[in-house]
Amino acid sequence: MFSEFFQFTFSGVTLGAIYALVALGFTLIYNASHVINFAQGEFLMIGGMGTVVLMDAGVPIYFAIPLAIAMAGVAGILLHRLAIAPAKNADVVTLIIITIGASIFLRGLAQVFWGKEYHALPNFSATESINLGGAILLTQSLWILGIAAVLVTALGLFFTRTALGKALLATSMNKDAASLMGIKTGAILMMAFGISAVIGAAAGVIVAPITLTSYDIGIMLGLKGFIAAAIGGLGSSTGAILGGLLLGLAEAYTAGYISSDYKDAVPFVIILAILFFLPNGLLGSRAVERV
Cα–Cα separations (whole angstroms), residue 224 to 21, 83, 232, 237, 276: 11, 24, 12, 16, 18
Q: What is the pLDDT of residues 179-210, one digit of tens each?
A: 888 888 889 999 999 999 999 999 999 999 98
Domains held by the chain: number: 1
Domain containing 114 — which CATH number?
1.10.3470
Residues 6+ apart with CB under 8 A from 45: 106, 107, 110, 204, 213, 214, 215, 216, 217, 218
Q: What is the pLDDT of residues 116-152, one digit of tens each?
A: 999 989 998 877 788 877 778 889 999 999 999 999 9
The Cα–Cα gap between 283 and 72 comes to: 29
**Reported confidence tier of residue 285, pLDDT bands at 50, 70, 90:** low
**Reported confidence tier of residue 291, pLDDT bands at 50, 70, 90:** very low
Q: Give the type of residue at 129.
A: S
* Contact status, residue 139 vs residue 125, Cβ threshold 8 Å: yes
Averaged over 69-78, what is the pLDDT? Answer: 96
Q: Is the pLDDT of residue 114 over 60?
A: yes
pLDDT of residue 169: 86
Averaged over 160-189, what is the pLDDT? Answer: 87
Q: What is the pLDDT of residues 26-44, one digit of tens each?
A: 999 988 888 889 999 999 9
**% the chain with pLDDT above 70:** 97
Return mean pLDDT, the chain.
89
Q: What is the pLDDT of residues 210-221, one digit of tens each?
A: 888 999 999 999
**Reported confidence tier of residue 287, pLDDT bands at 50, 70, 90:** very low
The Cα–Cα gap between 114 and 3 comes to: 40
The Cα–Cα gap between 193 and 95 comes to: 14
Give the domain range for residue 158. 2-290
pLDDT of residue 288: 40
The Cα–Cα gap between 175 and 88 comes to: 12
* Contact status, residue 21 vs residue 202, Cβ threshold 8 Å: yes
Q: Is the pLDDT of residue 224 over 60?
A: yes
pTM of the model: 0.91
**Reported confidence tier of residue 47, pLDDT bands at 50, 70, 90:** very high
